[in-house]
Amino acid sequence: MEPPELPVAQLVRLSSLFGISANRARVALSRMVAAGEATTDGSGSYRLSGHLRDRQARQSASRSGITTPHTGRWWLAVVTTSGSTAGVRLARRHALSFARLAELREGVWMRPDNLPLHLPDELGPDVEVMAAHPREPHRLVDRLWDLPAWSDRADRLLDALAGLTPDSPDVLAPGFELSASVLRHLQADPLLPEELLPSRWPGRRLRQDYDRWDARYRATLREWSRA
C-alpha cells in the first residue's frame, strides 16, 4: 500500500481478524507513534514511519526483483575500523545485509554488481567500497549464500499459495500470515545474476504467483472492508 496509511477505524477492524480487541489495537497504535514507528495527522489516520517505513521500501524492492546487467564485477565492502560498540556493529551488519551483500569473512562483504550499492552515509568512515573480479564466481556464490535452502523454502511457499485461495473472509487472517512469510523470504533473495543461479531457480515464479495471489487477496479484503 502506497502511501502506507489507513484510518484508525479500518485498522481496528483489521485487527479484529486476529482476535485483537478495539482497545488493544488503539493502545498498540499509540505505542507505535511513541516509538516512532507510525505517525498520525490528528484526523484519525495513521501512517508507517521510521524503520517500519524503511522495511516496507525494502519489501517493495524485493518483490519487484529488478536488477541491472551484470558486468562481471563484484562489489567488495571492507570494514576498516575496529573497536566499535556492539550497537554500532549490529547496525552496520544490518545495513550491509539490507544492501544484499554477504559476509565472506569478518569485515569483508561481497555481491555481484547487478544491483546498485547504496549504503547509509554514516557508514562512510567505517566501510571502504571497491570493485573485485573473482576468478571463480560460482564457487564464491556457494560460499556466500545457501541457494538450495532458499529454493526449497520458495517451493514450499509456492505450494502454500496454491493451497490457499484468498476468496473468502475466513482466509484473510491465515492469508495475511502467508503473505508476510512470502515477503520475508523475498527479502532474503540475494537477487543474483541469472548466470550465477542454479537451473530452475524459483525466484521469478514465486514473484509472479504471489502477485496474482495478492491481487485476489486484496480484492477479498476490499469486499470484506466494505461489508
Calculate mean pLDDT across residues 50-67. Answer: 86
Contact 134, 74 (CB under 8 A): yes
pLDDT for residue 3: 67
The rounded percent of the chain whose pLDDT value lies above 90 is 64
Kindly report the pTM of this predicted structure. Answer: 0.88
pLDDT for residue 7: 84
Total Cβ atoms within 10 A of residue 102: 16
Q: Could you tell me the three cell numbers for 34?
A: 511513541
Among 216, 210, 161, 156, residue whose Cα is nearest residue 183: 210
Task: State the DSSP string of 45-59.
Answer: EEEE-HHHHHHHHHH
Total Cβ atoms within 10 A of residue 226: 6
85-143 per-position pLDDT tens digit: 999 899 999 999 999 999 999 999 999 999 999 898 888 789 999 999 999 999 999 99
Calculate mean pLDDT across residues 171-192. Answer: 96
Contact 103, 109 (CB under 8 A): yes
Using the predicted structure, report yes or no on whether residue 2 has a pLDDT greater than 70: no
175-185 per-position pLDDT tens digit: 999 999 999 99
pLDDT for residue 109: 98
Q: How far apart are CA 164 and CA 178, in angstroms?
A: 9
